[in-house]
A = this chain, B = another copy of it.
Amino acid sequence: MSDPAIPPAVTEDEAALCTPFVKCLVRLIRAQDSYGSWERKADAELLGDFIITKEQRRAIPIIGDPDPDVLWRLDKYYAAIGLAIEERCGLMASPMIQVSHEGFGRVLFTTGRLVVLSKTLRDVHRFGFETLLKLATAGTKLVDDGIAVIEAFPHVALA
């Protein structure tokens, strides 16, 4: 640690934490903290359960039922995407998530009469991202996709 430069892993995480999408996600998670028990936790720590390394992923059975914790994270992830879309364009994109007990399903974001995002879900019991940056990139991509659809059909989003 004699190197004065910040280790690359830290800068990558920091970059991820600065994205509007991850900020929305952290905000949503902190909003659930009614008793302030997570107040001293850093943002990266709060998002810790969203990170599943390759080794951890390998340890999870291929077929499995999603537990309530992973469904909670899935819910927060998509809620944050909706929130980030609203922040960018001022229109609320409300998600509707349907997951079977086997972890297959669908998520649909609508704004007015417009389907902003539609995504098939599978392997929900293994929902997670290798790094914070991958979480940020995946979420930001969905936000960008949603915004692009709203920009393509603005009159339907307002209908």
Contacts and interface: CB of A to CB of B under 8 A. Distances in A.
Interface of A: 96, 98, 106, 108, 110, 112-115, 118, 149, 153, 156, 159
A100 to B, nearest CB: 13
A97 to B, nearest CB: 8
B113 A149 contact: yes
Contact of A153 (B98, B108, B159): B159
Nearest to A149: B113
Nearest to A114: B113
What is the count of identical protomers in the complex? 2
Contacts of A112: 115
A108 B114 CA distance: 11
Given A112-B115, A114-B156, 18 more contacts: A96-B96, A96-B98, A96-B106, A96-B108, A98-B98, A108-B108, A108-B110, A110-B115, A110-B118, A113-B114, A113-B115, A113-B153, A113-B156, A114-B114, A114-B115, A115-B115, A153-B156, A156-B156
15 contacts: A96-B106, A98-B98, A108-B108, A108-B110, A110-B110, A110-B115, A112-B115, A113-B114, A113-B153, A113-B156, A114-B114, A114-B115, A115-B115, A153-B156, A156-B156
Contacts of A149: 113
